[in-house]
Amino acid sequence: MSQPALMTPEQFEQALRARGAYYHIHHPYHIAMHNGEATREQIQGWVANRFYYQTNIPLKDAAIMANCPDAQTRRKWVQRILDHDGYGDSDGGIEAWLRLGEAVGLDRDVLLSEQMVLPGVRFAVDAYVNFARRAVWQEAACSSLTELFAPQIHQSRLDSWPQHYTWIEEEGYGYFRGRLSQARRDVEHGLELALEYCNTVEKQQRMLEILQFKLDILWTMLDAMTMAYALDRPPYHTVTDQPVWHKGKLL
Ligand SMILES: O=C(O)c1cc(C(=O)O)c2c(n1)C(=O)C(=O)c1cc(C(=O)O)[nH]c1-2
């Protein structure tokens, strides 16, 4: 097999963008939500499980900062934590997601308790946080580059959900709206780091593999939700109809 060649920064950016073919926007669970085919339970399941991703993003970003000796990078990166946690009088993304939960009929305590978080979702999200803890900071930083494809997915929800799901309260959409500009800004910084850091064939190939790892995380979360909410096969369904799986963070 021929060895891959060193790509120019433009070619490398194109190669990263090409991975959008595997973004979770193409997952059948996501397509069903987009097409108005999701039930109320499926939307609620998605919102409650994705909340675990939302609450772990700041832990992931703090882990990256903990490993990053470059103050200029940290100055920019800290904004991501503030975006989700909020600061001063401004609520952050986590609060906005709790409002999304309320808009789809879920009490905020249900989201905060993590009682609906499926083990498969938990393991996938934990893998992301743990990768960020252990990886070279540039690699961990660039694993956020699935956000290249995120503005499109947030916009598609804003375009389609209000038409299909008239029972969802309008205030719930604030999170998606806010991320349109935040994700674009994050990606600009992330891409800048990736193009500067990946100056060898090995680093470029490894970064593409890391991006695929992150895509796998997002896809696997939806696979777990498909089993539970679309195929009616939640964990232990052959044994019990009770949600007996573990609920707490053990890592
Ligand atoms: O709703 C989505 O489909 C989606 C996907 C992603 C992503 O691509 O990782 C993120 C988000 N949303 C998001 O809201 C968000 O804050 C976020 C942060 C990150 C990251 O890796 O640091 N990804 C994402």
Q: Which CATH number is 194's domain given?
A: 1.20.910.10
ipTM above 0.85, yes or no: yes
For ligand 1, say whether the CB of 144 is within 6 Å of any of its atoms.
yes
CB 56 within 8 A of CB 128: yes
- What is the model's pLDDT at position 2? 79
Q: Say if ligand 1 is within 6 A of residue 153 CB.
A: yes
Mean pLDDT split into 10-residue runs, the chain, 251 residues: 90 98 98 98 98 98 98 97 96 97 97 96 98 98 96 96 97 95 92 97 98 98 98 97 88 62
- The residue segments making up the domain with residue 20 are 9-231
Taking the C-alpha atoms of residue 163 and residue 152, their distance in angstroms, rounded to an integer, is 17
Q: For the chain, how many structural domains are there in total?
A: 1
Cα distance between residue 69 and residue 71, in whole Å: 6
DSSP E strands in the chain: the ranges are: none
Does 215 fall in a domain? yes
Q: How far is the CA of 200 from the centre of ligand 1 (A)?
A: 28
- Torsion region of 236: left, alpha or beta (phi above 0 gives left; psi -120 to 50 gives alpha): left
Q: Whose CA is nearest to atom 21 of ligand 1?
A: 144
Residue 226 counted as domain residue: yes
CA of 150 to the centre of ligand 1 (A): 6
Within-domain flag for 238: no
Residues 6+ apart with CB under 8 A from 10: none
Establish if 63 belongs to a structural domain: yes
Give, for ligand 1, the residue of 100, 147, 179, 187 to mutate: max count of ligand atoms closer than 8 Å to Cβ: 147
Residue ranges in 143-173 assigned as alpha helix (H): 150-164
Give a yes or no: residue 247 inside a domain.
Answer: no
Examine residue 237 and state whether it is found in any structural domain, yes or no: no
Segment (H or E) for 130: helix 119-134
Residues 6+ apart with CB under 8 A from 157: 33, 34, 173, 176
Ligand 1 atom having least distance to the Cα of 179: 14
Environment class of residue 25 by beta-carbon count within 10 Å: exposed (0-12), middle (13-18) or buried (19+)? middle
Name the strand (E) or helix (H) holding 76: helix 71-85
CA dihedral 87, 168, 177, 143 (to 10 degrees): 80
- Distance between Cα 44 and ligand 1 center (Å): 18
Asked if residue 100 lies in contact with residue 170, where contact means CB atoms within 8 angstroms, the answer is: no
73 lines ligand 1 (CB under 6 A): no
Quote the ligand 1 centre to 9 CA distance (angstroms): 24
Ligand 1 contacts CB of residue 182 (under 6 A): no
Atom of ligand 1 nearest to the CA of 128: 21
- What's the 5 CA to ligand 1 centre distance in angstroms? 30
What's the pTM? 0.96
If we measure between CA atoms, which residue out of 228, 240, 236, 209 comes closest to residue 44?
228
Distances (CA, A) of 239 to 225, 234, 244: 19, 10, 10
Phi-psi region of 114 (alpha: psi -120 to 50; beta: other; left: phi over 0): left
pLDDT at site 251: 62
Ligand 1 site-directed mutation target among 53, 54, 100, 182, most atoms within 8 Å of CB: 53
Within a domain: 1? no
Specify if 57 maps to a domain: yes
